[in-house]
């Protein structure tokens, strides 16, 4: 059967058996019936559990009628005190049910970190696998328990890249289930992105099948072009699988990434140098052309009336402002926009690199706010909250605003002021040039402007001036729109990226789920900080208030 026509079926008995044995974890207003050690463990009733064990002599080392242990039920529902009591009174920490799942597997379903610590203190085998080859890391990835996965890997050394019986690693499962945060964490640890399972599928294949656009983006940014062209055993690439499954959004992302990565451009220079140069030379040449055209076709034109001192002053002032805008263009194009340097230089040949990465504990980072999107799987850093990895620049940029192809650079914390000034000077230059051109054309023609022949005369006798005015109008409209938009964002202390992707960032949502910008300190303060410092100081924000609600 072609992989495009097959389905992954997640087999985790912990989820199904908890439903078969009653609504043990729901908020049922009726008092639950606790008739044995298993139900007492599931509901976390330590007093009744002690009665069953100490008074009635019930065993905690035997399974129930379905083969499930009391310790498993306590682990599933995150009752650390119950788990500790069970272990102290004869419960086997490594006892497995009929599918060979242990209490640690069940703890992974709900991300029960406290219970896992109890289990580890009692000697649980972290690499225990069930009949499908699933270890605790696989179950955590299947259920998107990112914090639990981070805990058992960073603190207890679990193998985060282990394959199951079908050759699928936790990264395969997280990609298929669409858990982008879990994918980021695994890639942060250098999980193998190119590993193929028994059907020849990489994690990107499974992300394409499920249609998770966010996971596809994360995998594309952190990977190489090779993952985009890998074929499974049926001969399908990820983009072909996405198209075949009707995942239009994912197919579009993968298709664009395939083109951008240079697969259809074999020249290494075409893929590297030209991509890095961007459109800045085009804009630079266009602006110089406009200045030369203005001087030769508007200011120094013998067919127009002799230029007056006032008109000359305004005209040459416009040229001077244009020169200043060229300087600001150079600054915002060449200046570091706020690149965040990687803490570790990672290479595939660097022995012990994975161990070094695992030593980075987000909880010990001063900039960590509990948001897993702060992990950059490409740069291997914990980045500030408002930063973003730019796939074009291949760096994380602090206070990322956007990547501007026309300056061939990102706009971020360190060059946003230069970019805004460049836009303002560009608007002023276009305005002065346009006013001067209109005045010269209006007053310098022997044909009266009210005459129907005036437009024809200008087009035939002064095509340079007409061309300048048309191009200047287009330039002024574009520059004005960008300037107004950026000025509005500066006044509210929000970036272009945050405006476009507000729904993706939890720190931009209040407790009620509505949009809330915690960085907005008021229009006057926002503008003052930006104009004086060039950026706003995010350290003044109360980071604890940005923590996402616990699940």
- Which active-site residues does the annotation give? 404
> CA 53 to CA 238: how far, in whole Å?
55
- Residue pair 495/488 in contact by the 8 Å Cβ criterion: no
Q: What is the Cβ-side half-sphere exposure of residue 206, based on CA atoms within 13 angstroms?
A: 29
CA angle 332/493/412 to nearest 5° reads 25
User: To 10 degrees, what angle do helices 170-177 and 203-210 make?
Assistant: 20
| Distance spanning both ends of the chain, measured CA to CA | 39
Distance CA(387)–CA(390), nearest Å, equals: 9
Per-position b or e across 323-338, b if 16+ CB within 10 A of its CB: eebbebbebbbebebb
* Ramachandran angles phi, psi of 350, nearest 5°: -80, 105
Query: Measured between alpha carbons, how far is 375 from 385 in angstroms, rounded to an integer?
Result: 10
Whether the Cβ atoms of residue 377 and residue 383 lie closer than 8 Å to each other: no
Distance CA 70, CA 63 (A): 7
Our measurement of the distance from residue 353's CA atom to the centroid of its chain's CA atoms, rounded to an integer in Å, reads 24
Residue 534 forms beta bridges with which residues?
none
Paired residues of 390 in beta bridges: 395
């Amino acid at each position: 059967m072609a992989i495009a026509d097959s389905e992954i079926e997640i087999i985790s008995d912990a989820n199904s058996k908890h439903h078969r044995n009653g609504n043990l974890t729901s908020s049922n207003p009726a008092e639950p019936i606790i008739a044995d050690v298993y139900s007492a463990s599931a509901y976390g009733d330590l007093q009744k559990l002690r009665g069953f064990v100490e008074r009635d002599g019930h065993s905690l080392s035997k399974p129930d009628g379905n083969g499930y242990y009391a310790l498993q039920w306590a682990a599933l529902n995150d009752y650390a005190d119950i788990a500790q009591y069970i272990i102290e009174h004869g419960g086997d920490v490594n006892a497995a049910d009929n599918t060979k799942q242990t209490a640690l597997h069940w703890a992974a379903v709900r991300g029960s970190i406290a219970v896992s610590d109890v289990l580890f203190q009692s000697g649980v085998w972290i690499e225990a696998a069930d009949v499908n080859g699933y270890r605790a890391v696989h179950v955590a990835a299947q259920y998107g328990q990112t914090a639990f996965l981070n805990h058992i890997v960073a603190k207890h050394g679990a193998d985060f890249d282990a394959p199951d019986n079908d050759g699928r690693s936790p990264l395969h499962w997280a990609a298929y289930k669409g858990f982008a945060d879990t994918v980021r964490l695994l890639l942060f640890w250098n999980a193998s992105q190119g590993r193929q399972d028994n059907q020849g599928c990489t994690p990107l294949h499974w992300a394409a099948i499920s249609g998770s656009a966010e996971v596809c983006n994360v995998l594309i940014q952190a990977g190489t072009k090779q993952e985009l062209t890998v074929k499974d055993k049926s001969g399908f690439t990820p983009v072909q699988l996405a198209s075949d499954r009707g995942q239009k959004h994912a197919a579009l992302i993968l298709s664009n990434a395939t083109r951008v990565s240079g697969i259809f451009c074999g020249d290494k220079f075409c893929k590297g140098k030209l991509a890095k140069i961007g459109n800045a030379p085009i804009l630079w040449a266009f602006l110089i052309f406009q200045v030369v055209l203005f001087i030769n076709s508007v200011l120094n034109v013998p067919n127009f009336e002799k230029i007056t001192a006032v008109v000359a002053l305004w005209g040459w002032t416009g040229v001077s402002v244009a020169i200043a805008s060229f300087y600001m263009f150079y600054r915002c194009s060449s200046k570091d926009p706020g690149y965040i340097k990687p803490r570790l230089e990672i290479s595939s040949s660097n022995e012990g690199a994975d161990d070094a990465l695992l030593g980075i504990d987000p909880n010990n980072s001063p900039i960590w706010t509990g948001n897993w999107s702060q992990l950059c799987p490409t740069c291997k850093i914990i980045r500030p909250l408002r930063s973003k990895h730019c796939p074009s620049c291949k760096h994380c940029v602090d206070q990322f605003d956007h990547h501007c192809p026309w300056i061939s650079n990102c706009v971020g914390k360190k060059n946003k002021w230069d970019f805004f000034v460049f836009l303002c000077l560009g608007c002023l230059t276009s305005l002065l040039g346009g006013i001067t051109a209109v005045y010269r054309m209006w007053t310098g023609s022997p044909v009266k402007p009210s005459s129907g022949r005036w437009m024809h005369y200008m087009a035939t006798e002064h095509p340079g001036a007409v061309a300048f005015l048309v191009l200047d109008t287009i330039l002024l409209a574009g520059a004005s729109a960008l300037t107004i938009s950026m000025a509005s964002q500066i006044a509210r202390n929000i970036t272009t990226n945050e405006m476009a992707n507000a729904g993706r960032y939890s720190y931009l949502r209040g407790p009620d789920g509505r949009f809330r910008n915690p960085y907005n300190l008021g229009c006057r303060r926002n503008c003052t900080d930006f104009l004086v410092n060039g950026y706003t100081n995010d350290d003044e924000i109360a980071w604890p208030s940005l923590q996402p609600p616990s699940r």
